[in-house]
Amino acid sequence: MSLPTTLRVENISKIFGRVAAVDHLSCEVRRGELVGIIGPNGSGKTTLVNLISGFVKPTSGRILYNGQDITYTAPHKIVCMGISRTFQMVRPFYHLPAYKNMIIPLYSPRVRQLAGGRYGDRNAVALDLLEEVGFERDANVAYKPAGTLPQGYLKRLELAKAIALSPELLILDELFSGMSLAEVASVVPVIEKLRLAGKTIIMIEHRLKELFRIADRIMVLNYGQKIADGASTEVMESDEVKKAYLGSEG
């Protein structure tokens, strides 16, 4: 594999009070890869996403994106450099129609820049993007206030908002949680299409079966440390991983 490194995390730590949420963790993601990150509750997955996207600053360590140090870059600038992430806890603008929730990402300087100043009708773009992630156009779901939509739609709205930013690196934090099997099945092709388009993707997931089907590689976190990294089959064979999962659930 001689693909260039998109993301390089070097020995990063984040300590909250006395908890080391992420503990001397290093990893690499290559361009076009789809990497899954799993681990028990509280193992530091979301904190790692927050570190990469700049919402949380590390206690020590560095993060390089396309060779550039982004450790202390402001989060909105990181987005404009091409990293976009979804939130595990979705908090849309409940009183606004779903498609109006898309307007803010579409207002982003990154979108303007990529469109060369011509971004046309944001409402129309918003509706197209929502249709892509499975908002049926004839059912007018996109026009309903976000507050009235079930969790599965809100998760897909979150995905559409991230895609709207045309990221190079897309980080999805437990996108599948709260989705029905049918909804997951409808979103998987969307993710596969993004991969074909050359996007690099990191997926945090608890739904292992669905994740293993699409991921190239799996990283396992436990107590903020990386305890395994490799193909899904070999990772799940590791004793340490078995122990971490049994330990947290048993």
Partner 1 sequence: MKKRRERIDRGIKARSEDVYALSSWREMLYLAGPRLLPAAAFLLLPLFLGAYWQKVMISVAVFALLAISWDMLAQTGMISLGQALFFGMGAYVSGILNFYFGMPPWIAIPIATVLGGALCTLILTPVLRLRGIYFSMVTLIIPLMLVRIIEATKIFGGTEGLSGMTPLPSTLTEIYLVTGVLLGVLFGLRRLMETDYGLVLKGIRDNDRSVTNAGIDIFWFKTQALFISSTIGAFAGALMTHVYMFVGMPVFALDYSILPMAAAVVGGSGTLAGAALGAVILVPLSEALRGIGGLRIVMYGLFLVVFTVAVPEGLFDYIQRRYHQMERWVEIDQ
Ligand X SMILES: Nc1ncnc2c1ncn2[C@@H]1O[C@H](COP(=O)(O)OP(=O)(O)OP(=O)(O)O)[C@@H](O)[C@H]1O
- Contact residues: partner 1, CB under 8 A: 53, 55, 74-77, 79-80, 84-85, 87, 91-93, 96, 100, 103-111, 122, 161, 165
- Binds 39, which of Mg ion, ligand X, partner 1, none (CB < 5 to 8 A, cut-off by type)? ligand X
Instruction: Name residues contacting ligand X, limited to 191-230 (CB under 6 A).
Output: none
Q: How far is the CB of 68 from ligand X (least distance, A)?
A: 25
Of 35-43, 59-67, 144-152, 242-250, the window that binds ligand X (rule: CB under 6 A) is 35-43
Binding ligand X (rule: CB under 6 A), the pick from 23, 25, 39, 54 is 39
Partner whose footprint covers residue 199, from Mg ion, partner 1, ligand X, none (CB < 5 to 8 Å by kind): none
Q: Which of 45, 110, 122, 155 binds ligand X (CB under 6 A)?
A: 45
Query: From the CB of 241, what's the least distance to ligand X, in Å?
Result: 15
Per CB under 6 A, contacts with ligand X among 72-101 are: 88
Pick one of partner 1, Mg ion, ligand X, none as the site partner of residue 93 (Cβ within 5 to 8 A by kind): partner 1
Name the residue among 196, 193, 202, 198 with its Cα closest to residue 32.
198
As measured in angstroms, the least distance from the Cβ of 118 to partner 1 is: 15
Q: How far is the CB of 107 from partner 1 (least distance, A)?
A: 5
Does position 200 bind Mg ion by CB under 5 A? no
Distances (CA, A) of 38 to 27, 188, 205: 14, 18, 6
Q: Nearest approach, Cβ of 180 to partner 1 (angstroms)?
A: 25
Structure-token pair, residue 176: 């599948």
Among 13, 43, 46, 84, binds Mg ion (CB under 5 A): 46
If the CB atoms of residues 165 and 228 are measured against partner 1, the closer one turns out to be: 165
Q: Give, in degrees to the nearest 5, the angle at Cα 43 between 38 and 46.
A: 75
Instruction: Give the binding-site size for ligand X (rule: CB under 6 A).
Output: 12
3-state secondary structure the chain: CCCCEEEEEEEEEEEECCEEEEEEEEEEEECCCEEEEECCCCCCHHHHHHHHCCCCCCCEEEEEECCEECCCCCHHHHHHHCEEECCCCCCCCCCCEHHHHCHHHHCCHHHHHHCCCCCCCHHHHHHHHHHHCCCCCCCCHHHCEHHHCCHHHHHHHHHHHHHHCCCCEEEEECCCCCCCHHHHHHHHHHHHHHHHCCCEEEEECCCHHHHHHHCCEEEEEECCEEEEEECHHHHHHCHHHHHHHHHHHC
- Least distance (Å) from partner 1 to the CB of residue 140? 14
